[in-house]
Amino acid sequence: MPLRLKSLELQGYKTFASRTVFEFASGITAIVGPNGSGKSNIADSLRWVLGEQSYTLLRGKKTEDMIFSGSEHRARSGLAQATITFDNSEQWLPVDFSEVALSRTAHRDGHNDYLINSQHVRLREMNELLAQAGLSERTYTILGQGLVDASLALKADDRRRLFEEAAGVGLYRSRRDDALKRLENTERNLERVLDIMAELEPRIRSLERQAKRAIDFGRAQADMKQTLREWYGFHWHRSQRDLTDVRETLRGQESRVRDARVVHEKTQQEYSIFRERLSGLRAQLNGWHRQAAELHSQREGISRELAVLEERRRSLTNTQASVLSDQENTKNELHLANERYGDVEQDAARIQIEYEEAKSQLANVQNELQSRQSERASLEEQIELTRNEIESLSQQRAENHARLDVLRSRLQTQIEKINQTKEAIAKGEALSAKAREQYEVIRKERENSALILQEAEEKVVNQKNEFEVIDRQRRESLEQRSKAESDHSRIKAQLEVIEQSEQSLAGFAEGARYLLDAARQSKLTGARGALSAALDVPAELEIAIAAALGDTLDAVLLDADQLEEALSLLESDGAGRAALLPLDDRNNLSLNNPKDDDCLGVASDLVRSPDELSGAVRLMLGQTLIARDRNSARRLIRDLPIHARVVTLRGEVFRGDGLVIAGKTASSSALSRPRRKREFESALSEVVARIAESNDLVERSSNQLADAQRELAQSDTDAREARVRLGEIQETEQQAGLESESTQRQLEWQKNQLTQLEAEVQESVSIQQKIIESQAEVENRSADVLAKSKEIAGKFTEVSTDELQEQSSYWNTRVAVVEQSMASTNAKKEERVKEIMRLDARRVELISRLQDADNSLNGLDNEKTRLRENETGLHGQIEEMRVLIEPAEKDLETAEQEEKRLQDSEVNSQRIFANTERSYGQVQLEQMRKQEALDNLHQKITDDFGLVMFEYADDVSGPVPLPLDGMVEQLPVVTELAPEIEEQLTHHRAQLRRMGPINPDAKTEYDQESERYLLEAGRSRVG
Amino acid sequence: MIRKVNGICLKQVVAELDEITKREFVRTFDAVDKQFRETFVRLFGGGSARLALTDPEDLVNTGIEIEARLPGRREQGLAMLSGGERSLTAIALVFALLKVSPTPVCVMDEVDAMLDEANVGRFRDLLVDLSKETQFIIITHNRNTVQAADVIYGITMGRDSASQIISLRLDQVTDDMLKRG
């Protein structure tokens, strides 16, 4: 099988995020892995790259499911790609490449690309290529999970598809289905056309009716239009005339209104001017009144202020007196405070001096104390050091003591152990020697048993051999017996066959058989049987004798007197022919033996027969010579009489009269039967003897075999016993060996232990020595250190600090006391200063207050004089005002009378104006009505005629259409309307109303539908 | 009329196609049936089976029935078979199809999942026979099937949920790779 699919490369496909390449084997490629590892995705990818479009088979829903979707540790892929590479060196794919790579790429937007050898192709091209190669159209190319089961579970009809694919007829089937579908489509189309036609027919009929009515209607309408034109022409011009008249009237009214408005406006203006003047007068008068009132109120305010000023001046004089007395008091207090401050100052100076002194004393004492203390500290340090040393030394000593104790006890135990070990060694040596002896004894015993076993086994082997020999002998004799037995049965069977054929007279002529049967049934007496049965012929002469006898071979021997009876029997029963040989005492002569080498003799001499038959034999064979071959026969016959015969060994008969009979005779078996019977019988007896002999032999060897078996069993038991015994002994030996070895090992271990212990003791002793030495050293050093410590302690007591400390504390208290009194003095001083400052401030304040009071008094006086001046000024002004107001009030009265008159004339002119305006409005309304009537008429005309070229009067304007030919109607100018026109119009209108609603498009619709009907009819014929 | 002529044309085409389909179908069916009998006996180690047409009169639309007799049992409908027996019967059918009309490549995804050991052995032997004609890609959990392979790939799922492949020799296929989850 050549390699076809070389490799598969995946990138971003489902779980295969990285680029993955599979190289396939030419035979079987196996893919293994646990569930969920993505095995089946390989099958899917192959299906996919081969152009599969069903996402259910690909175990997904959409293109995006083919792309690696990412995980916690890995970003999703942007596209999925699968590429399969086929080996095409044998050109099984119909392209000129030795290698074909098919590839499919899917993008996240659902877009798929197909490539063959990196060339973009369409899906259809890819499918065609694969179909030609037998890859795409085989459901069983890729068997997904459970698909094998599905192929069975498929319904019987679906299963057919597999076979069609295998047969490669899927293509035909799809084409067939296409054809059927197309046929069906056509039929459906035809049906639809017929439906449409059936639907169209009634509609066309109704449309035809409608069209006819529409035409009638159009005609009536045209008639009416003609009449209308005239009617409209008259009315149009009349309306225009009416409108012009009304407009004229309107213009007259308009000028009247204008005049009335001018008169009215003039009166109105006069009246308003006068009113303005009047209101100016009133305003002036009012202003003067207001001024006078203001001046009065000002005068009152000033007198109030004057009273207040007087009061304030009184209170200020009082304050001034009280401040002066306060100032005196304050001055006295200040003097007192200054004196007290001086006292306090003196106290403070004294205390300061005391403090200085105490401080210097304290410093001295403290210095001294410090030096003393440092001295003491250094001594203390020394004491500490020595004490530590003493302690460490005593610790060392104690340690040494402890170690010494440990060593001593260890030494003791070690010595004890040594003694014990020594004893153990002595004991172990004795044990070991004993074990070895025992082992030796057992070993010898084992050797003996092994010898015994060997002998027993040898015996067994010998006996087995013997047994086998006997067995073989027995088997041989058994074989012989069975062979003899089979010989026996074979011979017996042959004998039976011969006897049977003798019984059934096989090979005898029919007549002879009949006669012999009759003889057996005692129907014929004196029959002696057949000639052949009576003769005993040597085997080599059988053929020759049978040939010589010919048909007379089965001649029935009869007593001579019975011949007639036999003949009549034959005759009466219509049996076949038979040769009959009556026995009589005729002495037949036989030929002389010619004494020739090639002549075996006269036939009658060569066969043996019972004596009573010798005559018959001579009769039958006495004239017959038996020759070796044809030549000698021919030679012999020449010298013989005419009735003689020569027979060769092959059965050729040469008669004296020249007749030669040759060829195979039917059977010489009848002749050989007695001889063969005899032979078989003798063989049978021989075989029986052989069987008996074999039986004897078998029995004998069986007995021998049983004996041998018994012996063998005995020996076997012996050997087994010997083996068991040997096993036991071996076990004991092994045990003894183990024991001896273990005692030896123990001994060894004890010895090792001893040497080890001795070494340990030595080590311990040396360590002990070392410790004792170090102990002595420690003792010396501790004595030294003790002496030193005593010395230092003495020094320490000498250096005392108590006195100094007392002094220092005394001075310290003193300093503190002085500091306290200093602080209290300082506080007192501060208090005094504060008091002085307060009194000072008070004094200053009083002075300023006095000054303020003086200033205010002066200000008040000035204010008073100013106010008095103001008061007199105001009084003068008030007088002036009164002089102005009085004449003005008289003026106002006359003006008000004039105003009343003017108002009356204005009302009059207004009434006239309103009247004129109302009549103008009426005319305007009339004009609008006329205009509207004209517009209505215009509308009606355009409704009926469409675009119309209107003729307008000079003062009427309206839209003028472009003079398009045929589209624009012209209205006739009619001044007088014929009376019948009105009547005609009414008639036409009634006619049109009777016709009712009309479909104006009925004609076109009818034309369209009938055209469509014809088209469908045509299609139905085509379909 | 034109319509009739058109119809006759199409009907003729259909008839011709039916003729071709019939001929090819019968030929293939006979061949597959023969192979199926042999394959079935080989796969089951005895028994007998045959394919039959549900409607031999209508060769264009006839379905195909499977009649199976498992060794030492009476003939049974497919529905009465056990899962493994059913899959093995299906495999026999597929193999028969492959013998009659080999495809260049055949992918089998866990088709041996339901088979016992003896059946897998026979399946494998037949697979090896067929691999002379067809290239096989077998996805399997079964060690016996793997033994037939010339090339083995192991698939594992990495920690990043991406599949990885390992090329394996037969003695490297561990039980881990074969276990089902």
Lookup: tokens for A816: 């503190």
Angstroms from B49 CA to nearest CA on chain A: 13
Query: What is the percent of chain A with per-residue pLDDT over 90, rounded to a whole number?
Result: 4
CB contact under 8 A, A32 and B153: yes
* Predicted local distance difference test score (pLDDT) of residue B31: 92
CB of A176 within 8 Å of a chain B CB? The answer is yes
- For the cut 70, the answer to whether the pLDDT of residue A506 exceeds it is no
Per CB-CB distance under 8 Å, the chain A contacts of B18 are: 176
CB contact under 8 A, A24 and B162: no
Quick one: CA dihedral A971, A975, A977, A978, positive or negative? negative
* Average pLDDT for A471-475: 89
**Per-residue model confidence as pLDDT tens digits over A879-918:** 888 888 877 888 888 888 888 888 888 888 888 888 888 8
CA distances from A696 to A284, A466, A686, A692, A708 (A): 198, 20, 16, 6, 18
**Per-residue model confidence as pLDDT tens digits over A229-241:** 778 878 888 888 8
**Per-residue model confidence as pLDDT tens digits over A313-346:** 888 888 888 888 888 888 888 888 888 888 888 8
CB contact under 8 A, A31 and B148: no
* Average pLDDT for A245-252: 85
Angstroms from B73 CA to nearest CA on chain A: 20
β-strand A556-559 against A580-583: which pairing, if any? parallel
The 3-class secondary structure across B64-115, one letter per residue, is: EEEEEECCCCCCECHHHCCHHHHHHHHHHHHHHHHHHCCCCEEEEECCCCCC
CB contact under 8 A, B25 and A92: no
Same domain membership, residue B108 and residue B167: yes
- Greater pLDDT, A562 or A294: A294
Angle at A134 between CA A131 and CA A137, to 5 degrees: 65
| pLDDT band at A373; cut points 50, 70, 90 | confident
- Greater pLDDT, A918 or A136: A918
Angstroms from B44 CA to nearest CA on chain A: 16
CB contact under 8 A, B13 and A20: no
Same domain membership, residue B106 and residue B87: no
The 3-class secondary structure across A98-153, one letter per residue, is: CEEEEEEEEECCCCEEEEECCEEECHHHHHHHHHHHCCCCCHHHEECCCHHHHHHH
Q: Which CATH number fits domain A5-137: 3.50.30.60, 3.40.50.300, 1.10.150.20, 3.40.1390.20?
A: 3.40.50.300
CB of A151 within 8 Å of a chain B CB? The answer is yes
| pLDDT band at A104; cut points 50, 70, 90 | very high
Same domain membership, residue B95 and residue B6: yes
Closest by CA position to A331, among listed A853, A844, A850: A844
- For the cut 70, the answer to whether the pLDDT of residue A2 exceeds it is no
Per CB-CB distance under 8 Å, the chain B contacts of A5 are: 104-105, 135, 137
* Predicted local distance difference test score (pLDDT) of residue A101: 92
| Cα nearest neighbour of B133 on chain A | A1
Same domain membership, residue B122 and residue B93: no
In chain A, DSSP finds a helix count (H) and a strand count (E) of 16, 18
In DSSP terms, B66 is beta-bridged to B51
CB contact under 8 A, A141 and B149: no
Element (H, E) at A421: helix A170-504
| pLDDT band at B1; cut points 50, 70, 90 | very low
- For the cut 70, the answer to whether the pLDDT of residue A351 exceeds it is yes
Per CB-CB distance under 8 Å, the chain A contacts of B87 are: 148-149, 152
DSSP class of residue A75 equals P
| Cα nearest neighbour of B10 on chain A | A179
Give the range of the structural domain holding residue B111, as residue numbers without chain letter: 102-181
CB contact under 8 A, A142 and B165: no
* Predicted local distance difference test score (pLDDT) of residue B138: 92
Query: What is the percent of chain B with per-residue pLDDT over 90, rounded to a whole number?
Result: 13
- For the cut 80, the answer to whether the pLDDT of residue A454 exceeds it is yes
CB contact under 8 A, A20 and B78: no
Q: Long-range contacts made by residues A178-186, C-beta under 8 angstroms, separation at least 24?
A: A179/B10, A179/B13, A179/B14, A179/B17, A180/B10, A180/B14, A182/B10, A183/B7, A183/B10, A183/B11, A186/A1023, A186/B3, A186/B6, A186/B7
CB contact under 8 A, A172 and B127: no
Task: Look at residues B79, B100, B121 and tell me which one is the last residue of a structural domain.
Answer: B100
Reported ipTM: 0.88
* Predicted local distance difference test score (pLDDT) of residue A57: 79
Taking each helix axis from N to C end, the angle separating B2-44 and A1002-1022, rounded to the nearest 10 degrees, works out to 50
| Cα nearest neighbour of B110 on chain A | A145
* Average pLDDT for A268-274: 86
- For the cut 60, the answer to whether the pLDDT of residue B181 exceeds it is no
Rounded CA separation A227/A225 (Å) = 5
CB contact under 8 A, B24 and A43: no
Average pLDDT along chain A: 83
- For the cut 80, the answer to whether the pLDDT of residue B8 exceeds it is no
- For the cut 80, the answer to whether the pLDDT of residue A168 exceeds it is no
**Within 13 Å and on the Cβ side, how many CA atoms surround A337?**
19
Same domain membership, residue B169 and residue B81: no
Kindly indicate whether the domain formed by A508-666 is annotated with CATH number 1.20.1060.20: yes
| pLDDT band at A997; cut points 50, 70, 90 | confident
CB of A171 within 8 Å of a chain B CB? The answer is no
In DSSP terms, A21 is beta-bridged to A9
Q: How many CB atoms lie within 10 A of CB A207?
A: 22
CB contact under 8 A, A1 and B134: yes
Rounded CA separation A48/B89 (Å) = 28
Same domain membership, residue B106 and residue B90: no
Q: Where are the domains of chain A?
A: 5-137, 508-666
Rounded CA separation A950/A961 (Å) = 9
* Predicted local distance difference test score (pLDDT) of residue A870: 85
Best mutation target, A28, A182, A188, to test chain B (most B CBs within 10 A): A28
- For the cut 70, the answer to whether the pLDDT of residue A192 exceeds it is yes
- For the cut 70, the answer to whether the pLDDT of residue A50 exceeds it is yes
Contacts of A643 (CB under 8 A, 6+ apart): A623, A656, A657
Interface contacts A/B by beta carbons within 8 Å:
281
CB contact under 8 A, B164 and A20: yes
* Average pLDDT for A1003-1022: 80
| Cα nearest neighbour of A133 on chain B | B104
Task: Look at residues B49, B68, B100 and tell me which one is the last residue of a structural domain.
Answer: B100
Best mutation target, A8, A18, A32, to test chain B (most B CBs within 10 A): A32
Contact B163, B142 (CB under 8 A): no
CB contact under 8 A, B98 and A153: no
> Which A-chain residues 199-228 have CB contacts (< 8 A) with chain B?
none
CB contact under 8 A, B2 and A1021: yes
Total number of domains constituting chain B: 2
Rounded CA separation A698/A474 (Å) = 6
The CATH number linked to B133 is 3.40.50.300
* Predicted local distance difference test score (pLDDT) of residue B41: 92
- Greater pLDDT, A570 or A826: A826
Lookup: tokens for A415: 């010595």
| Cα nearest neighbour of B4 on chain A | A1023
A28 closest CB neighbour out of B101, B138, B177? B138
- Greater pLDDT, B32 or A205: B32
Is residue A516 left, alpha or beta, with left meaning phi > 0 and alpha meaning psi from -120 to 50? alpha
Contacts of A187 (CB under 8 A, 6+ apart): none
Alpha helix stretches (DSSP H) within chain B: 2-44, 83-100, 117-130, 143-146, 175-178
Same domain membership, residue B69 and residue B6: yes
CB contact under 8 A, A39 and B27: no
- For the cut 90, the answer to whether the pLDDT of residue A530 exceeds it is no
Per CB-CB distance under 8 Å, the chain B contacts of A32 are: 139-141, 146, 152-155, 168, 173, 177-178
N-terminal to C-terminal alpha carbon distance within chain A: 55
A190 closest CB neighbour out of B3, B62, B173? B3
A141 closest CB neighbour out of B28, B83, B103? B103
CB contact under 8 A, A29 and B1: no
Same domain membership, residue B89 and residue B6: yes
**Per-residue model confidence as pLDDT tens digits over A417-445:** 889 889 988 988 888 889 889 888 998 98
- For the cut 60, the answer to whether the pLDDT of residue B7 exceeds it is no
Task: Look at residues B100, B128, B150 and tell me which one is the last residue of a structural domain.
Answer: B100
Same domain membership, residue B122 and residue B85: no
- For the cut 50, the answer to whether the pLDDT of residue A752 exceeds it is yes
Best mutation target, A3, A14, A24, A31, to test chain B (most B CBs within 10 A): A31
Torsion of the alpha carbons at A849, A850, A853 and A858, rounded to the nearest 10: -140
β-strand B163-168 against B151-157: which pairing, if any? antiparallel
* Average pLDDT for A484-491: 87
Query: What is the percent of chain B with per-residue pLDDT over 70, rounded to a whole number?
Result: 88
Rounded CA separation A1003/A1006 (Å) = 5
* Predicted local distance difference test score (pLDDT) of residue A587: 65
- For the cut 50, the answer to whether the pLDDT of residue A532 exceeds it is yes
| Cα nearest neighbour of B68 on chain A | A152
Same domain membership, residue B167 and residue B95: no
Same domain membership, residue B109 and residue B57: no
Per CB-CB distance under 8 Å, the chain A contacts of B157 are: 15, 34, 36-38
Best mutation target, A21, A29, A1022, to test chain B (most B CBs within 10 A): A29
Same domain membership, residue B82 and residue B119: no
Per CB-CB distance under 8 Å, the chain A contacts of B40 are: none
Per CB-CB distance under 8 Å, the chain A contacts of B140 are: 30-32
CB contact under 8 A, B155 and A39: yes
Cα A399 from chain centroid (whole Å): 78
**Per-residue model confidence as pLDDT tens digits over A703-737:** 988 998 898 899 889 889 988 988 998 898 889 88
A144 closest CB neighbour out of B17, B89, B109? B109
Lowest mean pLDDT among A209-213, A289-293, A613-617: A613-617
CB of A153 within 8 Å of a chain B CB? The answer is yes
CB contact under 8 A, A29 and B138: yes
* Predicted local distance difference test score (pLDDT) of residue A956: 61
DSSP class of residue A555 equals P
